Amino acid sequence: MVFLVGTSGWQYRDWRERFYPAKLPQRLWLEHFATRFATVEVNNAFYRLPERETFAAWRARTPADFCVAVKMSRYLTHVKRLREPAEPVARFLGRATALGDRLGPVLVQLPPNLPADADALDATLRLFPAEVRVAVEPRHPSWWTDEVRRVLERRRAALVWADRLGRPVTPLWRTTDFGYLRLHEGRARPWPRYGRTALASWVRRLGKAFDDAEPAYVYFNNDPGGAAVIDAAAFAGLARRAGHPVSRVTP
């Protein structure tokens, strides 16, 4: 399998002097990030969907091998709660597709208080074109059913594997031909770092679930203090030592 390893965002002020040079202007942080990593997950699109021109600018500012996973706007997931999905999905795609070949998976993170609705999920996923990968992160336990799994498989959407405190908080279902892992908070010190044992466990789980040519997107969301950057590098090193190809990772 091929690991594409990155972080959930790049615009964190406390990364200055930890990851970004002290005198580097913030307007150049994306360019610097893209020399060190080959993928990033954009979370701010969840709170405020950027204009198409912003997505186009990100494409222009990054190298040809760079990949941007984009979190779906909360208007669909948290305001509409998957009801009447056609307009929110069309608006999102009308903007995010300006990334062109830089567009990676679309992350659809559901509210923790949204119980399972397999029909609503199916109606949402069918609106995405076949060439757009979609990863779904439910957070209410009622979603862990065979019916939901069948919807994900039929629509070729990945179930997001999520970790908190070094343990899975989701079933480890393989529902399509790519993986998507989000690491939210580790148990190591200093907080919220991950220990090597936890990281190695995720390398093994993904390695068992996916074939050599299938990608696994791995994003560290434990950004305080630059923990995400450090842990992404540690994860990449463990994956390489296990014999897996890994995207560019240089902390």
Cβ pair 70, 106 in contact under 8 A: yes
Q: What was the pLDDT predicted at 131?
A: 96
Taking alpha carbons only, the member of 95, 99, 92 closest to residue 61 is 99
Tell me the average pLDDT across 136-162.
98
pLDDT tens profile 28-82: 999 999 999 999 999 999 999 999 999 999 999 999 999 999 999 999 999 999 9
Instruction: For 168-219, write each residue's pLDDT tens digit.
Output: 999 999 999 999 999 999 999 999 999 999 999 999 999 999 998 999 999 9
Residue recorded with tokens 């799994």 = 149
How many Å apart are CA 160 and CA 181, to the nearest integer? 6
* Cβ atoms of residues 176 and 153 within 8 Å: yes
**Token output for 209:** 């679930």
Q: Give percent above pLDDT 70 in the chain.
A: 100
**Pairing mode of beta strands 2-8, 67-71:** unpaired
Is residue 38 a contact partner of residue 30, using CB atoms and an 8 Å limit?
Answer: no
Question: What mean pLDDT do residues 89-100 have?
Answer: 98
Residue 5 forms beta bridges with which residues? 218
CA terminus-to-terminus distance, the chain: 22
